[in-house]
């Protein structure tokens, strides 16, 4: 209901994209065109931080597409994010070339350290940017497709699906910790130098990455919006609300789910790929199940089933995390844990579902009061908000 | 389509179907034949296997053994729900199930026979023909006024009607209706019986029902299920006189 | 048993050195009671000889001390061999391997090196005498364990000089286990000595019967075997290798059962909350953690105020852990979960948040590092069974897991509460209308599941690090076990836990621990996709809730 009401008036999309591009432009200008001692200067570390938030927002969007619209609660989306990140990391590693500590022109430092003599086959081609970008999308897509195909075909749903997605990312976590996987083991991939020949540490590159993240967010948002408003999207919502009805209507639900899940995996992978050059490292910790669950909470906080809400939730929660861990690091987990409980118990529709509802209630009350002053017996408004519809 | 096709082939042919859950025989060598254009009422006490029978016909449950054929020679036991629905078997649940967060129009739109493949659906635009058909269905289900309301906001009765409208939109050759009058008043029951008789003019119908007054109002051949197999079959008064049926219903 | 109980009680109070001395005193006291008092005098006389300048006197002192039955004769003689035995005035003192000084006569520890201590002289003759006396002392020691160790060391060293000693020890040996070890040592000496072929062939048979890694090493290294010997050795080698392979398989299975019992303990509470109630409690691992911390607290209190109760600490911790974790569970159910019935995904998220809060709370209270939870004496140590070495803690945990499972089955099937519980899960409305207080049953069921997780924490505190992250390590595995076994079925949980545990341990030698775990996880994910309802699914209409 809420989703419909929001998409019914598209001012939200305009506002969202307007503010997004406004911030992108403003930050870019304030970082590049002002001197560090200026009062308006946006420091580069803040640019990288905001770039990170934008990548998280894309991840949140990808989760919302499957959770908010198809009802698939994935607790393993961090895996797609991390795989995209690793693919990008492999490209960045190969860009280092002979500038590593050991100076090997081909092998990354950790392989020299492990006494490897040649590049494993799966590292071949990652020196080519376009091949690497293709892999950034393909690897998460393949995993999402195969996993989704197997799971949805055998009709694993609900919490069972959530649990096996968690097991999936957990298995990958363990796997990437192993040195002989060839992805740097515990330390992951780091010490990146440049991207497409441009030094990663320059302000210009930082701003470019930040703006790219913003543009990717906008693109993913528009894609998701188009999909969810199409008839395909309506089928997705139908599946979410009454799966077997949809089946008995002749829709092969598996196909829809696999398609949405795969697309979602690709989006998460792209987000991871932009994330890695901005934080400068990718390690197995990104596969930790807790990361994936945290990302789900961003969506819940922002408003499940509202695309703008997912993005806002990711940004708000991570901003809170940055501030909180700065002030009171010990209390952050209390705050985050409390947020999980608070949102699920008291704010099941998230910020974007609750705020308009509150506004409307306030408006109704004002209108009622106005009416009541004229005619004390006026019936209560028929527009009173309905329950969650469980 | 198949409707009106005077074919000697039965629209639904169920033979020797057995379904067991954990050793419990939900269906036991069940056989049933529905002729094209026929309306059949299925009655039976709780646990007689009525819902399981529906599940088997619609592909939700696979039988251990037995044949289920549609339109004479289409084997349903190898197909999934979607394929069977696309063949032309519609199913109405006991509890009205509509897509609550879609508008009435979108509910009907999604139900319309036609595109079912993801890619085709992604790029689909509403055609004039579809619009016309939806308008017809809105009139039939008396929901024209509510066309842009969320289905979740409809009253219970309106949801029932919307679901029937959605079933009609699928243009099925055979309709399976599960306890359509559960929880209805006498007047509503009567009205629903009339509606089903009306629908039966163009569709074959199988109705599962407890309510004897309702079955009587339908005035069709009755099949009595008991412990997963057919206990008796025939006109209602004949079945009601059957000693074994009396025994099963009154208990011993 | 008694002695180690005594030690256990002392350990928290005294420095390890003090404990060792007390133990020595205790042993001494025991021996004094049994041996004639004259022995002490004999030892004193023998020790006095060490102050002499004559090597003859010292040599006599060595023999006399060995014969005196002085409980620390071995320590003193080894000290002499290493020139750690000193004369300080009238007293004979020695410095033990750890650098602590002792009075040789009483064994009592001294505060540092006594003034004027002078090392007792030792030349090669004295050293030989010391070695002979030591070999004799150990092979002839009053303690069967020492004799056994000595025989084993002879078996490994194959020092031909010990041959006469081994022979004479064999003649008097009464203890079956030590006797066998001596025979094996003799066989090894024979094989590596200059005996004839027949004797050597017999020796091969004796060693082949040992069937372990040591026997294999001994047989492989036999010098200049004759053809008949070579043949006997190679067939013995095959036999040993295949028996070793069997035992290592058995060992893997045992470890698997052990891991399975741990999984069972961790999952069994979940089998109730998730399996019976359908509630996804992501904070389940934290209930286990709470149980482990309860054990820690109980042991803290016991250490500080009633150390003699230490061996009962687990027995005290069990009901407490059940109550604490159960109470937390009831609070969670009342405070959060009851508002989320029918919304499993929201329950999952809320309880996950709760798990973060609980972890952080424990971290704040107890600190982020591991807390030490001790093993009571009956939980420590190991015993041999065939070719296996089994530790007591693992064995008791296996037993405990099965006992908990059995009790739960009885509770669910045979008690009024179990009946009400099943009634509520099968048909809430009907149960309610029959006068069952469904809210109350929900709370108690959840409390029961959480309490069982708590007692699992008591057991796991014995084999795992007690840290705020304890629970996290089990949560995914526990869900896997429950889902694999089939929801709502305790037998399924049992089979699931054992299957996963054994598979894991059988894969470990082949694939390595981490890869083995990954393989199991992937296999499980694939399995769940083939059989979404687990090994033992509930069927029929009840499933379609």
Q: Please give the residue that has the higher pLDDT: either C19 or A57.
A: A57
Nearest chain B alpha carbon to A233? B122
Nearest CA in chain C to A180: C515
Domain boundaries, chain B: 1-88+173-252, 96-171
Against chain B, the chains showing at least 3 CB pairs within 8 Å are A, C
Consecutive H or E run containing B14: strand B12-21
| Candidates A162, A170, A338; nearest CB to C353 | A338
Euclidean distance between the first and final Cα of chain C, in Å? 56
pLDDT of C352 higher than 50? yes
Give the pLDDT score at A378. 40
C-beta atoms of A259 and B118 within 8 A: yes
Judged by a CB distance cut-off of 8 A, whether residue C352 touches chain A is yes
Q: Measured over all CA atoms, what is the biggest interatomic distance in chain B, rounded to whole angstroms?
A: 61
Distance from CA of C538 to the nearest CA of B (A): 8
Q: Which fold has domain C247-543?
A: ABC transporter involved in vitamin B12 uptake, BtuC (1.10.3470)
> With an 8 Å Cβ cutoff, are B91 and A4 in contact?
no
Cβ-based contacts under 8 A for chains A and B = 89
Q: Is the pLDDT of residue C394 over 70?
A: yes
Phi, psi of A281 (to 5 degrees): -160, 150
CB contact under 8 A, C529 and A333: no
With contact defined as beta carbons under 8 Å apart, do A175 and C518 qualify? yes
B24/C contact by beta carbon, under 8 A:
yes
Count of Cβ atoms closer than 10 Å to residue C430 Cβ: 11
Question: Between residues B69 and A7, which one has the greater pLDDT?
Answer: B69
Are the Cβ atoms of A167 and C353 closer than 8 angstroms? no
pLDDT tens by residue, B105-163: 999 999 888 888 888 888 888 888 888 899 988 988 888 888 889 988 888 878 888 88
CA of B15 vs chain C CAs: smallest distance (Å): 22
Is B46 an interface residue toward C (CB < 8 Å)? no
Average pLDDT, chain C: 80
Would you call B106 an interface residue with chain A, using a CB distance cutoff of 8 Å? yes
Q: Is the pLDDT of residue C528 over 60?
A: yes
Q: In chain B, what residues touch C540 (CB-CB under 8 Å)?
A: 21-22, 24, 26
ipTM above 0.90, yes or no: no
Q: Residues 6 or more apart from C75 whose CB is under 8 A from it?
A: C94, C96, C102
Nearest to A390 among C280, C343, C347 (CB): C343
Chains that touch A (3 or more CB pairs under 8 A): B, C
Domain residue ranges of chain C, discontinuous segments joined by +: 35-135, 143-224, 247-543
User: What's the average model confidence in pLDDT over B181-198?
Assistant: 81
In chain C, what residues touch A170 (CB-CB under 8 Å)? 476, 521
Asked if A347 reaches chain C (Cβ–Cβ under 8 Å), the answer is: no
Q: Look at residue C451 and tell me whether its pLDDT is greater than 90.
A: yes
In the predicted model, is pLDDT for residue C217 greater than 70? Answer: yes
Instruction: Give me the numbers of helices (H) and strands (E) for chain C, helices first please.
Output: 22, 6
Is B51 in Cβ contact with C540 (below 8 Å)? no
- Residue C20's pLDDT is 47
pLDDT: which is higher, A148 or A378: A148
Q: How far apart are CA C337 and CA A28, in angstroms?
A: 46
**What average pLDDT score do residues C95-121 get?**
80
Beta bridge partners of C94: C85, C102
Q: What is the mean pLDDT of chain B?
A: 84
- H/E stretch holding C410: helix C392-414
Residue C534 near residue C492 (C-beta atoms within 8 A): yes
Please work out, in degrees rounded to the nearest 5, the angle formed at the alpha carbon of residue A312 by the alpha carbons of A308 and A317: 150
Query: If pLDDT is split at 50, 70 and 90, which confidence band does A353 have?
Result: confident
Q: What is the mean pLDDT of residues B181-185?
A: 75
Per-residue pLDDT, A232:
93
In the prediction, which pLDDT does C330 show?
Answer: 94
Tell me if chain B has a CB within 8 Å of the CB of C545: no
Q: What class does CATH assign to B1-88+173-252?
A: alpha beta
C539 to B51: CB separation less than 8 angstroms, yes or no = no
**Cα dihedral C457, C460, C466, C469 in deg (nearest 10):** -70
* Whether A313 contacts A351, CB under 8 Å: yes
User: Judged by CB atoms within 8 Å, which residues 222-261 of A form the interface with B?
Assistant: 227, 230-232, 234-235, 237-238, 241-242, 244-253, 255-256, 259
Contact B113, B171 (CB under 8 A): yes
The candidate with the shortest Cα–Cα distance to B19, out of B42, B50, B46, B43, is B50
Give me the torsion for CA of C279, C282, C288, C293, rounded to 10°.
Answer: -130
Name which of A229, A206, A262, A227 is nearest A49 in CA terms.
A206
Strand pairing partners for A198?
A195
Yes or no: say if A55 and A210 are a contact pair by the CB < 8 Å rule.
no
Task: Measure CB to CB from residue A174 to each of C348, C518, C532 and give the nearest one.
Answer: C518
Chain-chain contact of A255 with B117 (C-beta, under 8 angstroms): yes
Residue in this structure with the two tokens 């500080």, named with its chain if needed:
C304
The pLDDT score that the predictor gives to residue C362 is 92
The answer to whether C540 contacts chain B (CB < 8 Å) is yes
Going from N- to C-terminal start, the domains of chain A cover: 52-201+221-348
Shortest distance, CA B129 to any CA of chain C (angstroms): 38
Task: Using a CB–CB cutoff of 8 Å, tell me whether C144 touches chain A.
Answer: no
Taking only the tens place, the pLDDT of each residue in B4-22 is 444 568 888 888 888 887 7
């Amino acid at each position: 209901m809420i989703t419909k009401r929001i998409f019914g008036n598209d001012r939200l999309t305009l506002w969202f994209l307007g503010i997004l591009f406004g911030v992108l432009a403003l930050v870019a200008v304030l970082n590049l065109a002002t001197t560090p001692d200026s009062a308006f200067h946006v420091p580069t570390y803040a640019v990288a931080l905001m770039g990170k938030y934008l990548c998280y927002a894309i991840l949140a969007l990808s989760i919302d597409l499957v959770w908010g619209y198809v009802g698939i609660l994935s607790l393993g989306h961090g895996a797609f994010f991390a795989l995209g990140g690793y693919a990008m990391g492999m490209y960045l590693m190969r860009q280092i070339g002979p500038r590593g500590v050991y100076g090997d022109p081909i092998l990354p430092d950790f392989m020299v350290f492990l006494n490897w003599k040649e590049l494993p086959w799966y590292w071949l081609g990652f020196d080519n940017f376009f091949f690497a970008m293709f892999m950034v999308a393909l690897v998460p897509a393949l995993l999402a497709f195969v996993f989704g195909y197997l799971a949805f075909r055998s009709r694993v749903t609900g919490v069972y699906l959530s649990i096996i997605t968690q097991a999936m990312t957990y298995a990958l976590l363990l796997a990437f910790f192993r040195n002989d996987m060839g992805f740097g083991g515990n330390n992951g991939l780091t010490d990146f130098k440049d991207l497409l020949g441009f030094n990663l540490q320059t302000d210009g590159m930082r701003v470019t990455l930040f703006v790219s993240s913003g543009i990717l967010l906008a693109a993913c948002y528009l894609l998701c919006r188009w999909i969810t408003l199409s008839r395909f999207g309506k089928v997705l919502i139908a599946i979410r609300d009454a799966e077997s009805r949809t089946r008995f209507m002749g829709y092969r639900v598996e196909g829809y789910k696999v398609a949405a899940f795969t697309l979602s995996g690709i989006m998460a992978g792209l987000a991871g790929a932009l994330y890695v050059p901005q934080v400068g490292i990718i390690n197995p910790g990104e596969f930790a199940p807790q990361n994936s669950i945290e990302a789900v909470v961003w969506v819940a906080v922002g408003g499940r089933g509202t695309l703008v809400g997912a993005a806002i939730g990711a940004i708000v929660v991570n901003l809170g995390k940055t501030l909180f861990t700065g002030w009171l690091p010990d209390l952050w987990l209390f705050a985050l844990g409390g947020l999980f409980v608070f949102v699920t118990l008291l704010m099941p529709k998230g910020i974007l579902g609750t705020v308009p509802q509150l506004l409307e209630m306030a408006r109704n009350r004002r209108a009622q009061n106005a009416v009541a002053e004229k005619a004390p017996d006026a019936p209560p408004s028929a527009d009173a908000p309905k329950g969650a519809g469980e | 389509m198949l409707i009106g096709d005077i074919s000697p082939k039965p629209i639904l042919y169920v033979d020797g179907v057995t379904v067991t859950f954990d050793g419990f025989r939900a269906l036991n060598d069940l056989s049933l034949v529905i002729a094209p254009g026929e309306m059949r009422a299925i009655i039976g006490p709780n646990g007689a296997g009525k819902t399981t029978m529906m599940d088997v016909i619609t592909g939700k449950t696979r039988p251990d053994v037995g044949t289920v054929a549609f339109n004479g020679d289409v084997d349903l036991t190898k197909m999934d729900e979607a394929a069977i629905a696309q063949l032309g078997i519609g199913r109405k649940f006991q509890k009205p199930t509509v897509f609550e967060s879609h508008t009435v129009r979108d509910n009907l739109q999604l139900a319309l026979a036609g595109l079912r493949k993801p890619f085709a659906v992604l790029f689909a635009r509403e055609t004039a023909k579809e619009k016309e058909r939806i308008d017809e269905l809105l009139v039939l289900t008396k929901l024209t006024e509510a066309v842009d309301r969320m289905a979740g906001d409809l009253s219970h009765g309106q949801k029932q009607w919307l679901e029937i409208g959605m079933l009609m939109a699928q243009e099925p050759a055979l309709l399976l209706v599960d306890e359509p009058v559960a929880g209805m008043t006498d007047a509503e029951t009567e009205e629903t019986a009339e509606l089903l008789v009306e629908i039966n003019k163009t569709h074959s119908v199988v109705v599962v029902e407890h309510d004897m007054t309702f079955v009587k109002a339908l005035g069709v051949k009755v099949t009595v299920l008991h412990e997963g197999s057919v206990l008796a079959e025939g006109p209602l008064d004949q079945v009601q006189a059957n000693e074994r049926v009396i025994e099963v219903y009154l208990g011993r | 048993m008694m002695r180690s109980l005594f030690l256990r009680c002392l350990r928290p109070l005294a420095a390890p050195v003090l404990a060792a001395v007390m133990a020595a005193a205790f042993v001494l006291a025991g021996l004094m009671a049994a041996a004639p008092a004259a022995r002490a005098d004999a030892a004193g006389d023998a020790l006095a000889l060490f102050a002499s300048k004559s090597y003859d006197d010292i040599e006599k002192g060595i023999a006399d001390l060995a014969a005196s039955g002085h409980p620390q004769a071995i320590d003193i003689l080894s000290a002499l061999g290493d020139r750690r035995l000193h004369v300080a005035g009238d007293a004979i003192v020695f410095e033990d391997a750890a650098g602590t000084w002792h009075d040789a006569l009483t064994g009592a520890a001294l505060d540092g090196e006594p003034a004027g201590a002078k090392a007792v002289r030792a030349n090669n003759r004295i050293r030989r005498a010391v070695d002979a006396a030591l070999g004799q002392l150990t092979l002839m020691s009053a303690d069967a364990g020492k004799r056994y160790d000595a025989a084993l060391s002879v078996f490994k060293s194959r020092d031909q000089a010990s041959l006469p000693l081994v022979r004479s020890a064999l003649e008097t040996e009464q203890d079956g286990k030590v006797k066998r070890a001596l025979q094996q040592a003799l066989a090894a000496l024979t094989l590596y000595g200059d005996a004839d072929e027949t004797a050597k062939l017999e020796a091969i048979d004796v060693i082949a019967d040992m069937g372990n890694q040591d026997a294999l090493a001994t047989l492989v290294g036999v010098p200049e075997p004759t053809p008949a010997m070579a043949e006997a050795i190679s067939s013995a080698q095959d036999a040993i290798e295949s028996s070793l392979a069997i035992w290592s398989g058995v060992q893997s299975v045992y470890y698997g059962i052990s891991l399975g019992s741990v999984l069972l303990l961790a999952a069994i509470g979940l089998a109730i909350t998730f399996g019976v109630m359908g509630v996804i409690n992501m904070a389940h691992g934290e209930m286990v953690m709470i149980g482990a911390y309860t054990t820690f607290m109980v042991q803290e209190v016991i250490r500080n105020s009633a150390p003699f109760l230490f061996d009962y600490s687990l027995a005290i911790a069990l009901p407490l852990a059940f109550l604490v974790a159960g109470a937390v569970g009831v609070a969670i159910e009342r405070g959060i979960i009851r508002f989320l019935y029918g919304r499993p995904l929201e329950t999952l998220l809320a309880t996950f948040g709760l798990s973060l809060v609980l972890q952080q709370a424990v971290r704040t209270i107890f600190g982020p590092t591991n807390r030490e939870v001790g093993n009571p004496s009956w939980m420590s140590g190991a015993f041999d069974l065939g070719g296996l070495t089994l530790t007591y803690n693992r064995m008791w945990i296996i037993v405990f897991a099965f006992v908990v499972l059995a009790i739960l089955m009885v509770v669910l099937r045979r008690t009024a509460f179990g009946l009400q519980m099943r009634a509520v899960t099968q048909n809430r409305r009907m149960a309610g209308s029959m006068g069952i207080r469904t809210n109350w049953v929900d709370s108690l069921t959840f409390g029961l599941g959480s309490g069982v997780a708590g007692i699992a924490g008591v057991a796991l505190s014995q084999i795992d690090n007690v840290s705020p992250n304890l629970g996290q390590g089990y949560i995914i595995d526990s869900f896997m076990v429950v889902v694999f076994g089939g929801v709502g079925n305790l037998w399924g949980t049992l089979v699931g836990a054992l299957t996963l545990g054994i598979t894991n341990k059988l894969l470990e030698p082949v694939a390595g621990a981490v890869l083995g775990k990954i393989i199991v996880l992937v296999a499980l994910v694939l399995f769940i996709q083939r059989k979404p309802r687990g090994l033992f699914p509930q069927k029929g209409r009840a499933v379609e809730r």
